[in-house]
């Protein structure tokens, strides 16, 4: 009995960590411009992205080509701003002008992902998934830790938790990804928390709100050929005793 209670406490903590720390909706804020001596033009470029002003952004980039891949505060980039704003056209414009889709270890990809702290409409989900798929197909990788994670949560895990959150229209998201042929081989190292995500989709942990069918699809789509369904994660873990998991 004690072991069951302890397991629930542990999984509860993992669920909170995955949902809140790694998957919160990212709010872009201006970095410390004095500390980084950011130029007026750099700030103008950021504002142009936020305002969706493609002409101004294009003019600034033509004069300061280095801005497209400038990284401030570890993960603050023009591409990240555009991705966080859900601006698909500006994301494409920046990549067209030389922005690295995998810049700052996939930070733009992470900022495009739907978070779990507020519901997302079908329109919002589609807009964000279009950006995610575009960045991946341009070279962004899910095989990174999240930029704000000190716990090893990967972009792949953040992606699954956001897409499959019941407040984010997971059925619609799953259908969209299927229609667009989403498939990505996530390295085992970055699938370490899949078993915890799987457990959090079970009925007794339903308060964390993950959609079973969505999680099953995402585990298969990010696992490569022949991956097991999420309730049989034998490629990563094996069961020793009920409620206890270990690496094979």
- Does residue 108 sit within a domain? yes
Q: Say which CATH number the domain at 108 has.
A: 1.25.40.20
- Does residue 222 sit within a domain? yes
Structural domain range at position 198: 115-237
> What are the residues whose beta carbons fall under 8 Å from the beta carbon of 203, sequence distance 6 or more?
none
C-alpha 125/C-alpha 84 separation (Å) is 12
Same domain, residue pair 96 and 206:
no
Is the four-CA dihedral 53, 136, 29, 65 of positive or negative sign? negative
SS3 content of the chain, % helix, strand, coil (to 5): 60, 5, 35
137-180: pLDDT as tens digits: 999 999 999 987 566 789 999 999 999 998 899 999 999 999 99
How many domains is the chain built from? 2
Domain limit, last residue, from 112, 141, 167: 112
Tokens found for residue 229? 């369904």
> Would the pTM of this model clear 0.85, i.e. be above it?
no
Work out the number of other CB atoms within 10 angstroms of the CB of residue 47: 15
Same domain, residue pair 48 and 106:
yes
Same domain, residue pair 85 and 139:
no
79-131: pLDDT as tens digits: 999 999 999 999 999 999 899 999 999 999 999 999 877 889 999 999 999 99
Percentage of the chain surpassing pLDDT 70? 71
- Does residue 243 sit within a domain? no
- Does residue 242 sit within a domain? no
- Does residue 21 sit within a domain? no
Same domain, residue pair 142 and 229:
yes
Same domain, residue pair 51 and 99:
yes
C-alpha 54/C-alpha 73 separation (Å) is 24
Same domain, residue pair 89 and 158:
no
Same domain, residue pair 233 and 125:
yes
Domain limit, last residue, from 79, 112, 145: 112
Buried b (16+ CB within 10 A) or exposed e, 189-207: ebbebbbbbbbbbeeebee
Same domain, residue pair 105 and 173:
no
Same domain, residue pair 71 and 154:
no
């Amino acid at each position: 009995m004690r072991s069951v209670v302890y397991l629930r406490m542990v999984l509860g903590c993992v669920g909170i960590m995955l949902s809140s720390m790694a998957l919160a909706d990212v709010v872009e804020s201006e970095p410390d411009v004095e500390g980084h001596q950011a130029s007026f033009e750099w700030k103008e470029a950021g504002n142009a992205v936020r305002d969706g002003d493609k002409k101004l952004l294009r003019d600034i980039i033509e004069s300061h080509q280095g801005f497209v891949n400038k990284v401030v505060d570890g993960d603050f980039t023009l591409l990240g701003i555009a991705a966080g704003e859900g601006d698909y056209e500006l994301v494409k414009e920046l990549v067209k002008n030389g922005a690295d889709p995998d810049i700052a270890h996939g930070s733009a990809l992470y900022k495009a992902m739907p978070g779990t702290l507020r519901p997302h409409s079908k329109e919002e989900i589609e807009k964000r998934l279009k950006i995610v798929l575009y960045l991946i197909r341009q070279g962004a990788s899910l095989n990174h830790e999240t930029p704000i994670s000190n716990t090893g949560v990967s972009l792949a895990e953040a992606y699954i938790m956001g897409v499959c959150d019941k407040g984010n229209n997971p059925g619609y998201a799953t259908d969209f990804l299927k229609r667009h042929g989403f498939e990505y081989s996530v390295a085992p190292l970055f699938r370490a928390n899949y078993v915890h995500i799987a457990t959090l989709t079970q009925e007794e942990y339903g308060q964390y709100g993950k959609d079973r069918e969505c999680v099953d699809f995402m585990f298969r789509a990010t696992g490569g050929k022949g991956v097991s369904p999420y309730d049989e994660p034998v490629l990563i873990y094996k069961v020793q005793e009920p409620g206890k998991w270990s690496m094979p």
